[in-house]
Structure 1
Amino acid sequence: MFKKQFQLAAIAILAVMLVMSGCGKSTDNNANNNGGSNNAGTNAGGAAGTKDITVNAENWKFDQTDIKLNVGDTVNLTLKNTSGNHGLEIPDLKINIKDGETAKFTVDKAGTYEFVCSIMCGTGHADMKGKITVS
C-alpha cells in the first residue's frame, strides 16, 4: 500500500514539474534589445539599411505592435520571451521564430504584414498580434 502511494505521489510531482517547466521565465539575454520602443524599425533617413529588432513577448502581449521599415531593409528579427512560452509568426513572409531565435530577411515590397503569437499561450493568445509597415 505504501509503495503504491509513493509511486502515485512521485508521478504527480513529475507531472507538476513538467507542466511548470513550460510556464517559466526565459533567461535568454539577447544583446539586440532596442529598449522596447514601438517604432524599433523606423529609419529616419529613409534609406534602406540593416535593422536589429528584438520583440519581447509576455503573457499576453508583444512589447512592439507597430514596426516601421523601408523597402530594401535587411532585418534581424529576434524574439525574446519575458514570461510564458510564445512564438512570432509573420505568415505573409513565411517567418516563424521561437524564443531566442532570430530571423534574417529583406523586405522587398511595400505593404503591411501582420504578425501573431504562433504558440497557444492561454486566454489572451488571440490578442497577441502586431503589424510591420513597409514603405
Structure 2
Amino acid sequence: MKKPGRIFAIVALAAVFALSGCGNKNNNTASPSPSPSPTASTPAAGGGGMHDVTIDATNWKFEPAEIKAKVGDTLKLTLKNSQGAHGIASDDLGIKLKNGETQEIKLEKAGTFEYHCSIQCGQGHDNMVGNIIVE
C-alpha cells in the first residue's frame, strides 16, 4: 500500500515535468535553470538510487520527454495515458509498458537511450519519443 506523502511527491514531480514542457518545442537552447532529476534519492557520488517516474502520455508526446539518472540507479517507470492509447518501448533497455503498467529497469551503462510509443496512435505517432540519459 502506498503512502499518501509518496503519492503526492510523485504527482507533484509529474506536474513539474508537465509544466516544464510548455513553450518552445526546440530544446536546443539552454534552459534558464537546470532540469530536476526524477527524484532526489540519487546519491551524490555514483549510482544506486531508486527513481519513481510516471510518464504521462498524451497525443502526441511524453512528459517527461527526458529522464536523467546515473549508472547503477534503478528506474521504476509507470505509464499513464492522459489522452489517447499509447505504450512505451525501448529495445536498448528492455522496456515494454502499456497504460497503467510499471516496470523496474537497472541502469548498467552510460548513454542516451530512446523510448518511443509502441502503439500506432495517429498522425503524431512517429514524433512520440523520449530519452533516458544515463551518466
TM-score for both structures, normalised by structure 2 = 0.71
1:118 is aligned to 118
Q: Whole-Å Cα distance in 1 between the matches of residues 43 and 124 of structure 2?
A: 34
**Partner AA of 1:35 in structure 2:** A
1:134 is aligned to 134
Q: Whole-Å Cα distance in 2 between the matches of residues 52 and 46 of structure 1?
A: 19
For residues 51-90 of structure 1, what are the structure 2 equivalents within 5 Å? 51-90=51-90
Indicate the SS of the match to 2:79. Answer: strand
For residues 85-96 of structure 1, what are the structure 2 equivalents within 5 Å? 85-96=85-96
Computing the radius of gyration from Cα coordinates, the structure with the larger value is 1
1:41 is aligned to 38
TM-score for both structures, normalised by structure 1 = 0.71
Where structure 1 has 5 or more consecutive residues not aligned to the other structure, the ranges are: 1-30
Q: Whole-Å Cα distance in 2 between the matches of residues 61 and 104 of structure 1?
A: 22
State the 4+ residue runs in structure 1 displaced beyond 3 angstroms: none
Task: Say if 1:40 and 1:83 are closer, same or farther in 2 by CA, change over 3 A.
Answer: farther
Q: Deviations over 1:28-59 (max 9, x none)?
A: xxx44432426443647344200000000001
Larger fraction in helix: 1
Where structure 2 has 5 or more consecutive residues not aligned to the other structure, the ranges are: 1-6, 21-35
For residues 89-104 of structure 1, what are the structure 2 equivalents within 5 Å? 89-104=89-104
Question: How many correspondences in the alignment?
Answer: 105
Task: Say if 1:44 and 1:64 are closer, same or farther in 2 by CA, change over 3 A.
Answer: farther
Indicate the SS of the match to 1:89. Answer: strand
